[in-house]
A = this chain, B = another copy of it.
Amino acid sequence: MQKQEILSKNQKIILDLIEKSDQPLKAYSILFDVKKKGINAPLQVYRALNKLVKIGKIHKIESRNAFIACKNSKCQIAKATVFSICESCEDVTEIHDHKLSEHLRDFKDNKGMKYNKYNLEFFGLCKKCI
């Protein structure tokens, strides 16, 4: 079982917005949208985003500087993420592939490094854009 995190006011507002979008949102577009709810400054947004990433409610798409909700209620980890990104329409999908996860979890380099996290981004063209 996962620890049930209790979210603060700002965290709830921002998570709510991100969950309503099925595509990644950028910090300043979030800021624009939550101004009507009384969140006025970038830092308020970034603080909430950082927390939400930390507890696995959202993920950051590093190559896009954007944030997407995690749909996988079971895992709730920010530690092992895989995304596919369409370079034409910018559609992003989180991938949960058991075999791939196993492979990545078990990966060992030859330098004795201890991993606790990874992020994998696939780029290409989605079915609509081919």
Q: Which residues of A contact B (CB under 8 A)?
A: 62-63, 84, 86, 93, 95, 97, 100, 103-104, 107, 109, 111-127, 130
How distant is A106 from chain B, measured CB to nearest CB, in Å? Answer: 10
CB contacts (< 8 Å) of A119 on chain B: these are 63, 120-121, 123
Closest to A125 in B: B114
- Beta-carbon contact of A112 and B95 below 8 Å: no
How distant is A93 from chain B, measured CB to nearest CB, in Å? Answer: 7
- 7 A-B pairs with least C-beta separation: A115-B124, A117-B123, A62-B62, A120-B120, A112-B127, A118-B122, A115-B122
Closest to A79 in B: B123
Told that A97-B107, A111-B127, A118-B121 touch, could you supply 18 new A-B pairs with CB distance under 8 A? A62-B63, A84-B111, A84-B115, A93-B111, A95-B109, A97-B109, A103-B103, A109-B122, A111-B126, A112-B126, A113-B124, A114-B124, A114-B130, A115-B122, A116-B123, A117-B122, A117-B123, A120-B121
